[in-house]
Structure 1
Amino acid sequence: MPVAPKPGVLPLRPLAFGEMFSAVFDTVRRYSGALYLPLAAVTGILAVPMVVASVVLAGRVRDGFEALPQAPDEPTGDQLWALFWPLMVIFGLFLLLGIVQYVVAGPLATVVLRAATLGRRMTAGQAWKEARQRIGASTASMALLYGPLLVLNVLLVGLVVLLVAVTGSPAVFLLTFLLSAAVGLGGIYAAVRLAPQIPVLVLEDSTARAAIGRAWQLNRGNWWRSFGLTMLVTLVGRLAVGVISYPLTMILSVAVPLTSMDLQSDSSRVEFGAGTMTFLLVGYSLVMLLGMLATGPLVPLVNGVLYIDRRIRKERLDIALAEAAGIHFAEAYGYAQQPAPSAPSAPSAPSAPAAPAAPYGQQPAGPSAPVPAQPAAPAEPAAPTAGPAAGPGAEEGPAER
């Protein structure tokens, strides 16, 4: 088998599972600046309100924690609400930041993967300039996919609360719970089936609605492969982030007792000082943001690799990619249809030394290097049978074809 050209991180042929997996992390390794610098800038800007909220709400969290009763007593609903509502605000800001980061990471990872596939250099400025033009369309595409699922789940939760409050029947609760689980599984199926959605949107310059239909057809029959690759890359990324963030969390846990946290002598209750809760909230928020930033481009890169593989298998994108990478005559690599060997016209007189046909793959050097068909001094009559020194003889050409 001929060897496929590989100008970048992907061989230009139908991809195996391991090749797609390694291509994701090869792109992260080779193009880390183009991937992470724009994403880090966006994350840093959006992290400011989260850090401010952590500082402002740290006192409320501390008061709610200290208002909890001792171990034998059960906390009331008001006490739990006073503790959890500021935490819910901080967590909501974290989720919002994650959504914005994913919307930005989709086009950014796609344009970087295109350069990585072709083996071209790309700076952070070039990647951001190309990606920011499709962020609006990416937002609309994500809204069309996840918006109906979110609204439907909210309606189902409201229906559960209403039916339980009115009827109080466990069977109604179980039925509504099963219906909500079915909707959730359907949402997971749709999200995996539409994995090439953002690459279609960016690389084919389509609208949000057209990208959904195109991705649905393009990824037909590839659901389990898409799901397995996404889960494996996500798991490896989480493990790597855990290895990095574990020392940071250990530093936070060691540094907390060195602040103004006091252990009461008459009970096992811990009371936090003025700056301890602020230190904890801000520190753990930054650690979580760091982990989210590190894994942000992984799933969009998986979607881009899946898109390239599906188009190679269905639409022979490998030939177009080879031409775009400057690799001409893709037939020479065996992945396009080669011309039939019987195509050259049969010479009427094999003994004629005029123009012997060159074998497949041996093309003439060009107009600047003519083939010396005849010797310079025609003194010897047997010279025409010798032929050119560099090419096959006139009688050997058709036999080799």
Structure 2
Amino acid sequence: MNDTPGWASPGSAPSDGQDQGAPRPAEPADAGDATARWSKEQPPAGQWSPPSTPGPGGSSPGAPAPGSLPGWGGGQPGGPGHNGWGAGWGQPPAAAKPGVIPLRPLGIGEILDGAVSTMRAHWRTALGLTITVAVISQIAVILAQRYLLPEPVTVDPNADPAVAMSQLVEATQSSLLSLAPATVVSLIGILFTTAILAVVMSRAVLGRPMTLSEAWGEARPRLLPLLGLTLLMTLGLAAIMTVGILPGLLIGSGAGAALSVLGGFAACGVIVWLWVRFSLASPALVLERQGIVKSLRRSAKLVQGAWWRIFGVLLLTLVLTSIVSMIIGLPFGLVALAVDGEGLSGLLTGTPVQYGWAFLIISGIGAVIAAAITYPIQAGVTVLLYIDQRIRREALDLELGRAAGVPGYDTPRS
């Protein structure tokens, strides 16, 4: 047991459908051969109830003191299994918090707070990584927008209905195509950032610092499988969208446009379902050192039964980060339009134009600043969702407590 990504070796206990041969999470520190230490005289089931009237000294007459019952954890707050209720009847003790999160199942607010706290505590590492990824991503987007995308389609408002519908279909295709480079590059950047910051997060939950060079050294052996995972997911999602809209595009008429819209909505539904189902594959690949296919299966098992909860957290994070990106990018976009005369004239006249270098560079700077803030939050939420699911299913909090040296967790196993 250590504080490297090896702490995340997969457990099998409560995870549905896991192979029985997979390594199990470590037993609690005081539970090595626990049955041999239990008293033979156990209280009968269903007969214990909280005292109604406290007696002298704050306890009911004849009530056993907390911690003296057979099998209780001795009343140590925050101990393994959270069974030491030394603070009083009816109120469990607060969970240990050696790092950015408490060692127990997390709420939505705690996941978001943990992601922000990690970015604040390790801002040099987070900013160094995300700025590098964001700059490379924006350069790729700018070059694609400048040289690869076709000229925008102009819709003639005076054209007859058949021509106007054809122009509308072409304009819709051009708009979707113009969004493709930024969407794909953003997806790749977030996956890459999530993988590197997963190593940082594995130390942050233990309350231990980590430099960018250390994080790079830990994650570097996983870059090739990570690249394969990223390409596989990107190509798979693109193939699903293509299957959804291609039949309508081939037809080309008004009916084809309607079919493309319906197929696009259906494809988006499938993409969202798969996006949530495989959202934990990246941290599983890095922290558990799994292969590409195994990390996808691992994510599917961890998400099983919690799809809607994870979808809600990811959607909320996406909305919040989109608002932050819009607030940061809007001033840069207005300045870019003012500097680029062609872009401003096109905006005022309503005609599509090919934006110049000034617009692309200035708006790209705003996108880099926004990405430097939002990428760590999105990556942190994904990693904390992975940790939270393992805490809920595999008692990972016990492993984390031992790694952090929390009292009650670090007793050697017999």
TM-score (norm 1): 0.65
Provide closer, same or farther for how the CA distance between residues 297 and 262 of structure 1 changes in structure 2, counting only shifts above 3 A.
closer
Maintained 8 Å contact 1:107/1:132? no
Q: List per-residue Cα deviations over 1:350-384 (Å, max 9, x = no partner).
A: xxxxxxxxxxxxxxxxxxxxxxxxxxxxxxxxxxx
Q: Report the CA distance shift for 1:89/1:228 in structure 2 as closer, same or farther (over 3 A).
A: closer
Per the alignment, residue 155 of structure 1 pairs with 243
Query: Which of 196, 205, 213 pairs up with 1:125?
Result: 213
Residue matched to 1:191 = 275
- Pairs within 5 Å for 1:267-282: 277-282=356-361
Q: What is the aligned partner in structure 2 of residue 249 from structure 1?
A: 333
The letter of the residue matching 2:336 is: L
Residue 7 (structure 1) aligned with residue 118 (structure 2): no
Counterpart of 1:209 (choices 290, 293, 296) is 293
Contact 2:329-2:370 within 8 A present in 1 as well: yes
**2:39 maps to what in 1?**
none
Encode CA deviations 1:262-321: one digit per residue, 9 max, x unaligned: 89xxxx9699xx9x9332232223323433343223332222111111111111111110
Q: CA RMSD in A?
A: 4.2
The amino acid of 2:288's aligned partner reads E
Map of 2:201 onto structure 1: 113
Residues in 2 aligned to 1:144 and 1:86: alpha-carbon distance in whole angstroms: 25
Please tell me whether the aligned partners of residues 98 and 292 of structure 1 are also in contact (alpha carbons under 8 angstroms).
no
1:366 matched to which residue of 2?
none
Residues 137 and 186, structure 2, Cα contact 8 Å, conserved in 1: no
Secondary structure in 2 matching 1:118: coil
Is the CA contact (8 Å cut-off) linking 2:195 and 2:282 kept in structure 1? Answer: yes
Report deviation, 1:210. Answer: 0.7
Alignment of 1:1-400 (within 5 A): 1-48=92-139, 50-51=141-142, 93-162=181-250, 164=251, 170=255, 178=262, 180-256=264-340, 277-330=356-409
Task: Report the AA paired with residue 280 of structure 2.
Answer: P
User: Is contact 1:54-1:282 (8 Å) kept?
Assistant: no
Instruction: Provide the rounded CA distance (Å) in 2 between the counterparts of 1:253 and 1:159.
Output: 37
What CA distance in whole angstroms lies between the structure 2 residues aligned with 1:261 and 1:148? 38
The aligned amino acid for 1:201 is L
Question: How many residue pairs end up in the alignment?
Answer: 317
CA distance in 2, matches of 1:250, 1:231: 28
Asked if structure 1 preserves the Cα contact closer than 8 Å seen for 2:337 and 2:343, the reply is: no
Runs (5+) with no aligned partner, structure 1: 333-401
Letter in 1 for 2:249: V
Query: What amino acid is aligned across from residue 201 of structure 2 in structure 1?
Result: L
Name structure 2 gaps, 5 residues minimum.
1-91
Name the amino acid aligned to 1:299.
Answer: Q
Deviation at 1:89, TM superposition (A): 8.5
Evaluate the alpha carbon distance shift between residue 248 and residue 209 of structure 1 in structure 2; reply closer, same or farther with a 3 A threshold. same
Q: Percent identity?
A: 24
